[in-house]
Amino acid sequence: MSHPGTSQDRRQPLKTWRKVNVWSIKGPILVLAILLGFFDHSLHWGRAAFAAGVAMVIPIIGFRDFWNEGRFWITVVLLGLAQVPLVIALRPLMEQIKFPLMLVFGISDSVLMVLAILWVCSERNGKSV
């Protein structure tokens, strides 16, 4: 007998955040960070674009279980589009304050992305939304 609020199929694993603190993930990210550090002056990216990019990549990697769902990618694209005006607005300020603002922006942006993805892709009442 099934009760309201319980899942019908217990064989299907729960989709959630997966570890990103493993070397198969950290290694390529560290190599990319070192390369971006060396080529920073020739690429002319800004701190704001870099922080927004990292804030998007980490949640995408962390939610690997959702990669085959359309609503996940729609959410990521919409959040990415919403970041463009924010990055443009924060770029001059971030170039003045540098690392502290980049760190705060990157962390807060990443947390907002994680919360938005969890909200959109969460299962409610045992049914996928």
pLDDT in tens, 9-59: 555 566 666 666 677 767 777 777 777 666 666 666 677 777 888 888 888
Helix runs in 3-98, H state only = 23-38, 40-43, 47-62, 70-97
pLDDT in tens, 63-106: 888 888 889 999 999 998 998 888 888 888 887 887 888 888 88
Tokens of 32: 């990319």
Give me the long-range contacts of 88-94 (CB less than 8 A, separation at least 24): 88/48, 90/48, 91/46, 91/47, 91/48, 91/49, 94/46, 94/47, 94/48, 94/51
Closest to 86 measured CA to CA, from 112, 114, 105, 110: 105
How far apart CA 121 and CA 77 sit, in angstroms, is 14
Q: What angle do CA 8, 18, 107 make, to 5 degrees?
A: 125
